[in-house]
Amino acid sequence: MRVVAAPDKFRGTSTAGEIADAVVRGATSAGATADALPMADGGEGTLEALGGGNRRSRVTGPLGPTVDAAWRLVDRLAVVEMAQASGLVLAGGAEGNEPLDATTAGTGELIREAVESGARRVIVAVGGSASTDGGLGALRAMGPPARYRGVELLVACDVRTTFIEAAEVFGPQKGASRAQVEMLRRRLVRQAQQYEEDFGIDVADLPRAGAAGGLAGGLAAIGAELVDGIDLVAEELALDEVLEGADLVVTGEGMLDATSYEGKVVGGVSAYAAAAGLPVLIVAGQVAAGLAGRSDVVSLVERFGGERARSDPAGCVKAVVAEVVGAAIAGASGADRATRR
């Protein structure tokens, strides 16, 4: 039996790599072979999934003071993760953030440096932002749009929210009050109008343009292509090829809910597995009520209790996978013996 481990991170507890390794350990302990392919969808962890940072730069942080941001450049391909430069965690979370002032300038500085360093294809992962500046900070930091002619800008999005919706959908998560959300919405409306006047691109209702508080829309205004991050990562990692010859795919994330199937890792990996005719096991820290009870889903909190699930998610994942894979191998062996009789 061959297992492919293709999980997302368990936010706040384990990286995708740590969970993938736990799946591999569980599968091999039960007698299977396994391949680890940690995934991401354009949110935090995308840089790691695509090879990790091999460069670091001091750039403007989300609230002004500089931060040390990792990014990647190999040949002429660059990977920039905006959470490294303009992320909510860097702003101290929602409690420490200043929603009206948070900027994407540092992300723009990374993109500019990547292109000045020779990149001709730049992947920008836009999850986990502190800002709702519509990408204005980034565009200003990037300089004249003409500099990016001949450069393929790909924006890996983990949501499909439109530009104007970004304030209402994401503002509260970034610490914005109701009044601030309305101010941010109005600002995005004005920015969309300005982008259309300056660049001839209407981003107001463009799907995915609201990712990272409108950063995706700002980049789209100067010619970037907005794509589902899970599909981009799957293509870069050749997920479909890795699935060839597999018998089971294991994926998962920290919190499984309806949004997990809307441009996220779990939904994306499940779709690729379905196309290949493979069964999927989804292991999650917690599972929303509407998805509980499904035979292909395991909640670590329900199985092991909240304390252990949060303190040792990798150990819990290993145990679940060992149990499921062991039962599958035993069942296959039993069927084989029955057939020989």
Is 80 exceeded by the pLDDT of residue 341? no
3-state secondary structure of 20: helix
Looking at residues 20-25, what average pLDDT do you find? 98
Strand 248-256 relative to strand 225-228: parallel, antiparallel, unpaired? unpaired
Record the tokens describing residue 89, joined without a space.
């965690």
Is 60 exceeded by the pLDDT of residue 336? no
What is the pLDDT at residue 332? 73
Mean pLDDT of the chain: 95
CB 125 within 8 A of CB 84: no
Percent of residues, the chain, with pLDDT higher than 90: 91
What is the pLDDT at residue 293? 79
Strand 2-5's sheet: what is its strand order?
Answer: 33-36, 2-5, 248-256, 280-287, 297-299
What is the pLDDT at residue 207? 95
3-state secondary structure of 263: coil
Enter the pTM of the model: 0.90
What is the pLDDT at residue 57? 98
To 10 degrees, what angle do helices 16-29 and 313-340 make? 30
Is 80 exceeded by the pLDDT of residue 326? yes
In angstroms, the CA 180 to CA 102 distance is 12
Q: How many CB atoms lie within 10 A of CB 61?
A: 21
What is the pLDDT at residue 339? 54
What is the pLDDT at residue 114? 98
Strand 121-125's sheet: what is its strand order?
Answer: 55-61, 64-74, 77-81, 121-125, 152-157, 225-228
More confident residue, 191 or 44: 191
In angstroms, the CA 257 to CA 286 distance is 9
Is 90 exceeded by the pLDDT of residue 231? yes
**For residue 85, which amino acid is it?**
A
Q: What is the pLDDT of residues 184-224, one digit of tens each?
A: 999 999 999 999 999 999 999 999 999 999 999 999 999 99
Identify the residue whose tokens are 């695509």: 50
What is the pLDDT at residue 12? 85
3-state secondary structure of 24: helix
What is the pLDDT at residue 262? 86
- Phi first, then psi: what are they for 289, rounded to 5°? -55, -40
Q: What is the pLDDT of residues 271-302, one digit of tens each?
A: 999 999 999 999 999 999 888 878 899 999 99
Where do the domains of the chain lie, and which CATH numbers do they carry? 2-39+238-340 (3.40.50.10350), 46-230 (3.90.1510.10)
What is the pLDDT at residue 290? 83
Looking at residues 75-83, what average pLDDT do you find? 97
319 Cβ contact list (under 8 Å, min separation 6):
26, 304
Is 90 exceeded by the pLDDT of residue 25? yes
Q: How confident is the model at residue 334 (pLDDT cuts 50, 70, 90)?
A: low
DSSP string, 90-108: GGTHHHH--TTT---HHHH
To 10 degrees, what angle do helices 229-236 and 265-275 make? 60
Is 80 exceeded by the pLDDT of residue 270? yes
